[in-house]
């Protein structure tokens, strides 16, 4: 019910002031966007660290 009320208010405010409506939509989706962005950055860091570990093992094996 809260989502329904939020979207009804957003649409009604869109008729009054379009920037306010867009601002409400950004505020609605912003936490999920930031969470996905930070999660993807953490995955990139993890994959880079594992690539560095494999590279260092390979170079150690070659140097022996």
pLDDT at 49: 54
Q: Per the structure block, which two tokens stand in for 18?
A: 């379009």
How far apart CA 55 and CA 37 sit, in angstroms, is: 27
Structural domain total, the chain: 1
pLDDT at 28: 87
pTM of the full predicted structure? 0.49
**Measured CA distances, 27 to 22, 32, 51, 52 (Å):** 9, 10, 37, 38
pLDDT at 7: 87
* Domain assignment of residue 59, given as a range: 2-63
Blockwise average pLDDT, block size 10, the chain, 64 residues: 85 88 87 82 59 54 56
């Amino acid at each position: 019910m809260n989502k329904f009320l939020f979207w009804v208010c957003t649409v009604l405010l869109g008729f009054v002031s379009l920037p306010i409506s867009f601002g409400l939509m950004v505020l609605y989706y912003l936490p999920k966007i930031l969470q996905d962005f930070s999660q993807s950055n953490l995955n990139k860091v993890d994959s880079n660290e594992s690539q560095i570990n494999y590279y260092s093992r390979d170079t150690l094996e070659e140097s022996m």
